[in-house]
Amino acid sequence: MAFWHWHLAVVAASYYLVAVADTQGKAMAIS
C-alpha cells in the first residue's frame, strides 16, 4: 500500500512539474 502511495505521489509531482514548466513557457512566450 505504501508503495502505491509513493508511486502516486511521484506521478502527481511529475505532472505538477510539467504543468508549472508549461505555464512558465507560455508566460515567457506571451511576454
Q: What is the chain's pLDDT, residue by residue, as a tens digit (31 residues)?
A: 678 889 999 999 999 999 999 999 998 887 7
Q: Structural domain of residue 10, as residue ranges?
A: 1-31
Would you state the pLDDT for residue 4? 80
Would you state the pLDDT for residue 1? 65
Q: Is the dihedral of CA 15, 8, 10, 13 positive or negative?
A: positive
State pTM to two decimals: 0.60
Concatenated DSSP letters of 1-31: -HHHHHHHHHHHHHHHHHHHHHHHHHHHHH-
Would you state the pLDDT for residue 29? 86
The number of folded domains in the chain is 1
